Structure 1
Amino acid sequence: MQLTNKRLEWDQFLEIRREILNSWPTGQEVDLEEAIAYQSKIPDNRRFAKKLETAKQEGITLAQPRAGVALVNEHIELLRYLETEGEADLLPTTIDSYTRQNRYNEAQAGIDESRSVGRSMLNGFPAVNHGVVACRQVVESVISPVQVRHGTPDARLLTEISLAGGFTAYEGGGISYNIPYAKDVPLERSIRDWQYADRLVGYYEERGISINREPFGPLTGTLVPPCISHSIAILEALLAAEQGVKSLTLGYGQCGNLTQDVAAIRSLEELADEYLSRFGYQDTVVTTVFHQWMGGFPQDESKAFGVISWGAATAALAKATKVIVKTPHEAMGIPTKEANASGIKATKQILNMLKDQPLMQSQELTEEKELIKAETRAILEKLLEFGEGDIAVGTVRGFQAGVIDVPFAPSRYNAGKLLPARDYYGAVRLLDFGNLPFGEDIKEIHREKIAQRGKTEGREPSFQMVIDDIYAIGKGMLVGKVR
Structure 2
Amino acid sequence: MKGQFRFDLDDAVQYIKSLDKESVHSVLTRCESEGRVAVQPRSGVGGHQEMRNLLTTIEESAAPDISTLTIDSYTRLQKFDQASNLLASAPEQLNGYPLVSQGIMRGRNLNESTRAPLDIRHGSPIANRLFEAAISSGITSFEGGGITYNLPYCKDVPLEASLESWRRIDELCGDLAQEGVIVSRESFGTLTAVLVPPSLALSLSFLEAMCGIKEGVKCVQIAYPQGGCLAQDIAALRAIRELSEHYVPADVDVFPVLHQYMGPFPSGIHESMALVAHGAIVAKAGLARKVVVKTVQESQGIPTAKSNADAINFVRAMTSSPSGIVEVLSDAVSLEQKQIVQESRELIDSAFDQNDPYQAIIDAFHHGVLDVPFSPSRAARGLVLPSRARNGAIRYFDTGNLRFSQNTKNFNRDSLAMDGLDYQALLSSINFFAEPT
Shorter-chain TM-score: what band?
A: over 0.9
SS of equivalent residue, structure 1 residue 414: coil
**Structure 1 residue 323: Cα displacement:** 0.4
Partner of 2:379: 413
Contact 2:230 2:278 in 1 (8 A): no
Partner of 1:422: 388
Q: Distance in 2 between matches of 1:326 and 1:352?
A: 17
**Structure 1 residue 250: Cα displacement:** 0.7
Which of 189, 195, 206 matches 1:223?
Answer: 195
Paired letter, 1:33: D
**Structure 1 residue 105: Cα displacement:** 1.3
Paired letter, 2:89: E
Paired letter, 1:158: L
Q: Residues 35-61 of structure 1, C-alpha deviation per residue, up to 9 Å, x if partnerless?
A: 111111224x42110010111122111
**Structure 1 residue 391: Cα displacement:** 1.9
Relative to structure 1, is the Cα distance of residues 355 and 29 closer, same or farther in structure 2, using a 3 angstrom cutoff? farther
Relative to structure 1, is the Cα distance of residues 473 and 357 closer, same or farther in structure 2, using a 3 angstrom cutoff? closer
Q: Which moved more, 1:267-276 or 1:232-241?
A: 267-276
Which of 61, 69, 88 matches 1:85?
Answer: 61
Q: Residues 243-290 of structure 1, C-alpha deviation per residue, up to 9 Å, x if partnerless?
A: 11101111000011111111101112221231123xxxx310000110
Partner of 1:472: 432
Paired letter, 2:372: V
Q: Distance in 1 between matches of 2:329 and 2:253?
A: 24
Which of 13, 33, 36 matches 1:60?
Answer: 36
Partner of 1:103: 79
Paired letter, 2:383: K
Partner of 2:266: 298
Partner of 1:12: none
Which of 163, 177, 182 matches 1:210?
Answer: 182
SS of equivalent residue, structure 2 residue 154: coil
Contact 2:76 2:127 in 1 (8 A): yes
SS of equivalent residue, structure 1 residue 26: coil
Contact 1:317 1:360 in 2 (8 A): no
**Structure 1 residue 302: Cα displacement:** 2.4
Q: Distance in 1 between matches of 2:68 and 2:26?
A: 16
**Structure 1 residue 318: Cα displacement:** 0.9
Which of 271, 287, 308 matches 1:340?
Answer: 308
Structure 1, unaligned runs of 5 or more: 1-23, 478-483
Contact 1:305 1:346 in 2 (8 A): no
Which of 41, 47, 50 matches 2:23?
Answer: 47
- 2:365 is the counterpart of 1:399: yes
Contact 1:255 1:261 in 2 (8 A): yes
SS of equivalent residue, structure 1 residue 170: strand
Paired letter, 2:433: I
Partner of 2:414: 448
Paired letter, 1:206: Q
**Structure 1 residue 460: Cα displacement:** 5.4
Partner of 1:5: none
Q: Residues 300-332 of structure 1, C-alpha deviation per residue, up to 9 Å, x if partnerless?
A: 222211111111111111110000101222112
Q: After the TM superposition, which residues 98-137 of structure 1 pair with which residues of structure 2 at under 5 Å, given as runs?
A: 98-114=74-90, 120-137=92-109
Contact 2:27 2:65 in 1 (8 A): no
**Alignment root-mean-square deviation, CA:** 1.9
Paired letter, 1:391: P
SS of equivalent residue, structure 1 residue 472: coil
Structure 2, unaligned runs of 5 or more: none
Paired letter, 2:125: P
Q: Residues 348-405 of structure 1, C-alpha deviation per residue, up to 9 Å, x if partnerless?
A: 2211233899888723222211111111111111113xx5853211110011111111
Contact 2:177 2:217 in 1 (8 A): yes
**Structure 1 residue 87: Cα displacement:** 3.1
Partner of 2:208: 236
Paired letter, 1:310: H
Q: After the TM superposition, which residues 67-82 of structure 1 pair with which residues of structure 2 at under 5 Å, given as runs?
A: 67-82=43-58
Larger Rg: 1
Q: Which moved more, 1:459-468 or 1:137-146?
A: 459-468
Relative to structure 1, is the Cα distance of residues 357 and 366 closer, same or farther in structure 2, using a 3 angstrom cutoff? closer
Sequence identity (%):
35
Paired letter, 2:206: I
- 2:251 is the counterpart of 1:283: yes
Paired letter, 1:249: Q
SS of equivalent residue, structure 1 residue 28: coil
Paired letter, 2:70: T
SS of equivalent residue, structure 1 residue 353: coil
Q: Residues 88-107 of structure 1, C-alpha deviation per residue, up to 9 Å, x if partnerless?
A: 22100000011000001111
Partner of 1:248: 220
Contact 1:113 1:121 in 2 (8 A): no
Q: Residues 334-361 of structure 1, C-alpha deviation per residue, up to 9 Å, x if partnerless?
A: 2221222222222122112338998887
Paired letter, 1:150: H
Contact 2:276 2:295 in 1 (8 A): yes
Q: After the TM superposition, which residues 121-200 of structure 1 pair with which residues of structure 2 at under 5 Å, given as runs?
A: 121-200=93-172
Which of 305, 316, 322 matches 1:354?
Answer: 322
Paired letter, 1:73: Q
Partner of 1:309: 277
Q: Distance in 2 between matches of 1:359 and 1:302?
A: 26
